[in-house]
């Protein structure tokens, strides 16, 4: 059984709206160079590559998805 308690390393205090930072975060979440796009590229490429590196691409794609979930 898993007990997952997600805590931030440092406290976060938001005092004002920052549209530029919001634009940056949106690009990192779903933009062309974001973590999700990178993860999907790796996981998609694993289906058209020789058997020896399928596990490597799966591991890299999974790690990219972890980056996306921590943002």
Name the binding residues: 35, 59, 64, 67
Comparing 61 with 6, which gets the higher pLDDT?
61
Name the binding residues for Mn(2+): 35, 64, 67
- pTM listed for this prediction: 0.60
* Residue range 51-60, pLDDT digits in tens: 888 988 888 8
Yes or no: say if 46 and 61 are a contact pair by the CB < 8 Å rule: yes
Name the binding residues for Ca(2+): 59
Closest CA to 39 of 61, 56, 71, 68: 61
Whole-number Å distance between alpha carbons of 20 and 33: 17
Q: What is the pLDDT of residue 69?
A: 64
Q: What is the pLDDT of residue 44?
A: 92
* Residue range 5-39, pLDDT digits in tens: 778 888 888 889 999 988 888 887 778 888 888 88
């Amino acid at each position: 059984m898993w007990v997952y308690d997600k805590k931030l390393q440092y406290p976060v205090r938001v005092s004002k709206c920052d549209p530029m930072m919001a634009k940056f975060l949106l690009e990192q979440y779903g933009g062309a160079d974001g973590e999700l796009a990178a993860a999907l590229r790796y996981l998609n490429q694993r289906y058209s590559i020789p058997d020896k590196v399928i596990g490597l691409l799966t591991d890299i794609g999974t790690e990219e998805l972890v980056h996306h979930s921590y943002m």
